[in-house]
Amino acid sequence: MLANVLLFSAALVPLPLVGYRDRIVEHRADGDVILRTSEHSDFNGGKIRLEQKLRRLSGQRFFIDFSDQPAATKIYHEALCLKQGMIPNTSTGIIGGEDAIAAWNCRDARSVPALPATAEEIELLRLDPAEKLGRTTDYSLTRAPSGSAFVGKTFFAIGAISVKSSVAGAAKYGVSVDNRRCFYDNVEYFSKPFDGTAQIGVNCIGYKQGFLTTQTQACVPRACGASEGTYGIR
């Protein structure tokens, strides 16, 4: 199926060392819209090239709306999540850091639907702590990415979250590699108590052998959780 949605042949000119190529498709007052071409697993040991539509923010950050992507990218997103027994989360988010390439967001089909946040809301709310309360049944569990990759090759660092909130409000979560050299952050709004699980990931690259620290964080109104892992670059 994926062979029918390839945007580019793997035999084309190699991508730059950073792992992607950007093309401006629209100039806007709130940031240029670009199409970023990068390589991703075809789930059979090979690579395919896809485009993600991003809006440039200040610094090394980009806003992504997963509901507004090229058709082939949406199909790939669905296939990627299906491998995890999940469905695509058509939410938003911010991709950033010196070497972040792309990001993906999958959710449990049973999760309560949420309203996406704007780029400004994500930046404003990301660091807000959870409300300080006594005993609560609410929770925020996380699992940081772990694995290995080759020097100079892009890799997909996947984190997992599982949350439960007894009140309506915002869910804030993110995944990062190497002290936020590559990261994906998001905020979603729920109009009633909620729970759910998700897998979120960011495509990154390692330039030398060693270990990179990874982190996954998630907060609901009354609980926060964080975990750390490592990615070995060889």
- The model's pLDDT over 208-229, given as tens digits with 9 standing for 90+, comes to 999 999 999 999 999 999 999 9
- The model's pLDDT over 30-39, given as tens digits with 9 standing for 90+, comes to 999 999 999 9
- The model's pLDDT over 12-67, given as tens digits with 9 standing for 90+, comes to 556 666 689 999 999 999 999 999 999 999 999 888 999 999 999 998 999 999 99
pLDDT at residue 190, rounded to an integer: 96
What is the C-alpha separation between 177 and 154, in angstroms, rounded?
A: 12
- The model's pLDDT over 198-210, given as tens digits with 9 standing for 90+, comes to 999 999 999 999 9
- Which residues touch 39 (CB under 8 Å, ≥6 apart)? 10, 15, 19, 47, 48, 49, 50, 154
Note down the domain range covering 158: 2-233
Instruction: Spell out the alpha helix ranges (H) of the chain.
Output: 71-82, 119-125
What is the C-alpha separation between 121 and 119, in angstroms, rounded?
A: 5
Q: What's the number of domains the chain is made of?
A: 1
What is the C-alpha separation between 214 and 162, in angstroms, rounded?
A: 18
* DSSP line for 97-118: SSS--EEEEEE-TTSPP-EE--
- Which residues touch 221 (CB under 8 Å, ≥6 apart)? 130, 131, 138, 165, 167, 168, 169, 170
Burial of 60 (0-12, 13-18, 19+ CB in 10 A): middle
Which of the four pLDDT bands, split at 50, 70 and 90, describes residue 97? Answer: very high
What is the C-alpha separation between 208 and 212, in angstroms, rounded?
A: 10
Query: 110: which strand partners?
Result: none
Residues 79 and 43: beta-carbon distance below 8 Å: yes
pLDDT at residue 34, rounded to an integer: 97
Provide, for the chain, the percentages of residues in helix, strand and coil under a 3-state DSSP scheme, each rounded to the nearest 5: 10, 50, 40
Query: 160: which strand partners?
Result: 143, 199
Q: Kindly report the average pLDDT of the chain as a whole number.
A: 90
- The model's pLDDT over 120-142, given as tens digits with 9 standing for 90+, comes to 999 888 766 666 555 678 999 99
